Amino acid sequence: MDADHDVLEELLAGNERHVTGLPEEYFGTVQTGQEPDVVTICCSDSRVPQERMWGTDGPGTVFTPSNIGNQVWDDDAGERIVDGGLLYPIHHTGTDAVAVVGHTGCGAVTAAYNAATGGDLPGPAGVSKWVELLVPVVEEALESGLIDTDADESQIINQLVEYNVEYQTQFLRAADDDVVPADLDIYGFVYDFQGVYGDEHGRAYLVTVNGETDPDVIVDDVPDSYDATVRSLLH
C-alpha cells in the first residue's frame, strides 16, 4: 500500500481486529432497533473514550453524540436550541437519562477562556462557531465567584470545565417539557485523565445530579462504594 495511506491501513487493520474479536450474536438483540439506556454528550476529544469509560460490553447501551466542548445546544438563526443528536434518542428510542461529560484540560474551554479574556477565536469558522458559543458561559463563570481567578491557568480551566458541565445540564433542565421531558434524569460528569480530581486516571467524577451540585447532597444518591466519585472543584 502507498505510504500516503498508512492511516487507512491502520483503520482497516483495526476494524479487522474488531470483527474477528466480536462474540457470536454480538449484534443479535439490536439488529432491528435500539433502546439505549443513556445518551452521553461528550467533548469530541480523542482522549475521551465515550463507550469504554462506562465499561459497556455490547452495542445499543449508550447513545454517543459529541461536539467541541460537550455542548447540549446548537445555534438556530441566533437562538440556542437543544442539540438534535441529544434529543433523537430521548424522543425516538425511549432513552430516559442524559449524561453531560466534560474532561480535564479541555481545549475548547481553554479556547473560550482565551477569547473571553481578550484573545482571538481559534478558527477556522467551523471551530470558532462552537468556541464562541462557550464564551458567554466562561464570562459568566469568571463573574460567578466560583472560579479562583488568581490560580494558575490549568486550575482555572479545570474549574471552568466543571462550571460548563453544570451550565449545560441546567440548560437542559430549563428547556420546555415537550423538548426535554421533566422526568428525564440529567447527570454531569468530568472525565479525569490527568489526576486533577483524584489519583485514578480515567475516572468519571460525578459533579451534578438533576440540578444538585452540592457534593454532600449528591453523595446520598450513589452507593457507598462510589462515594469517592463525587467530587467538585467549585463547591
pLDDT in tens, 185-206: 999 999 999 999 999 999 999 9
pTM above 0.85, yes or no: yes
Quote the cell numbers at residue 162: 466543571
Give residues with Cβ within 8 angstroms of 83, minimum separation 6: 41, 65, 67, 71, 72, 73, 74
Number of neighbours of residue 226 by Cβ within 10 angstroms:
11
Below-50 pLDDT ranges, the chain? none
Domain spanning 34-229: CATH superfamily:
Carbonic anhydrase (3.40.1050.10)
Among candidate residues 222, 204, 231, 235, the one with its CA nearest the CA of residue 51: 204
- Consult the annotation and say whether 43 binds a ligand: yes
pLDDT of residue 180: 98
- Consult the annotation and say whether 42 binds a ligand: no
